[in-house]
Each structure stands twice: as C-alpha cells, then as structure tokens.
Amino acid sequence: MNYECLCYQTIEDGQETALSEMVWDVFSEFQAPDYSREGINSFREFIKPQRLANEISNNRIKVYCCYDKDDLVGILAVQDITHISLLFVKKSHHRRGIAKELLKRAIKDIKIKNPNVEILTVNSSPYAVEIYRRLGFNPTDNMQEKDGIVFMQMKKYLDNELQQINRQIP
C-alpha cells in the first residue's frame, strides 16, 4: 500500500458536511451497536454540519484531518484546548498510524499555544478504549452513560510529549 498519499491539515471552511458524513459512517459501523436509540440520536445531533461549523468558527473545537488524495479518511477534534471530542478513521485506513499522527499533531499544536497544558482528556466509546490505551490514555473512571452515550473517561499526561513529537514531526 502507498502511504505517501496521506495529507494532514486542519479542516477548511465548507468541509463540515464531509466531516459529519465520514464520522457518521464510521460511528454507524463501529460504535452505534453499543448505543441505545437515544445515544445514536444524541451523537447525530453532536455531529450536525451546522453545529460543527459554529463550534469551529467560535474556536471551541479545532479539527485535524487526514486525507488520502481527496478522500477524508481520518479526523481528530479537540474541544476547549484539552478534550478530544471526536477521533474517527475510516475502516479502509485502520492500522496505518493515522490516529496516532493526528494526535501527535494536535498535541504539538496544543503545547506550542498552551505550554502549561498538562493533561488531555477523552470520553471514549467502548469500541475505542483499547485504541486510546495504545495512544497513551488511561481510564479515570468506570464506563458511564449520559444522554444514551456510553463512554469511559480517560486522560493522557502531556509531560515530555512536545520533545518526543519534535523528534518525529518535521
């Protein structure tokens, strides 16, 4: 497989619909089976294009994207500087390091703009708990449910992250 077609960048204006559709497709395949109808509806509301556009334009979330040529294949959204609110990679691109690379880029950006940030948090779906563990996150509580959304709170300490990232990203 050719990995050289992957391009990383922050989301551009007008890409919210493509973002929402890609996230919905991945969510439907991997996470929806663990959710009630209420949870599925709550998540659908959370990723509506207009809502995402408002959050982005008001600087409440920053979205990092991975494209394979013109195809959006991965995204990571950071909310309020220190919380991952979305991390999705298309099935066709799993196990290619995309989530890890998106996280590295987000952490680098966070630490440059906010050097005092020490912890990154996430409310992981049951499906993604192991993925987040491999990315260095640890559970801080048991599985919970709110508005039908099932999640486990996790956190990652960012000490020494910037030094490690600077050695890996040009």
Question: What is the CATH number for 65?
Answer: 3.40.630.30
Q: Would you mind telling me the total number of residues written for the chain in this entry?
A: 170
Residue 85 reports pLDDT greater than 70: yes
Domain containing 115 equals 6-168
With bands split at pLDDT 50, 70 and 90, how would you rate the model's confidence at 5?
confident
Give pLDDT tens digits for 48-67: 999 999 999 999 999 999 99
- Report the pLDDT averaged over residues 81-103: 95
Answer for the pair 72, 111: CB distance below 8 angstroms, yes or no: no
Percent of the chain whose predicted confidence (pLDDT) is above 90: 84
pLDDT of 166: 47
When divided into structural domains, the chain yields a total of: 1
With bands split at pLDDT 50, 70 and 90, how would you rate the model's confidence at 6?
very high
For the chain, what is the mean pLDDT? 91
The reply to whether 96 falls in a domain is: yes
The reply to whether 71 falls in a domain is: yes
The reply to whether 157 falls in a domain is: yes
Of 139, 138, 135, give the one whose Cα is nearest residue 87.
Answer: 135
Rounded to whole angstroms, what are the CA distances from 123 to 38, 79, 149? 17, 12, 10
pLDDT of 164: 52
Over the range 100-120, which residues count as b (16 or more CB within 10 Å of their CB) and which as e? ebbbbbbbbbbbeeeeeeeeb
The reply to whether 1 falls in a domain is: no
- Report the pLDDT averaged over residues 29-35: 90
With bands split at pLDDT 50, 70 and 90, how would you rate the model's confidence at 4?
low
Give pLDDT tens digits for 63-79: 999 999 989 999 999 99
Answer for the pair 95, 34: CB distance below 8 angstroms, yes or no: no
Is this prediction's pTM over 0.85?
yes
With bands split at pLDDT 50, 70 and 90, how would you rate the model's confidence at 146?
very high
Dist. CA 135–CA 47, nearest whole Å: 23
pLDDT of 159: 80
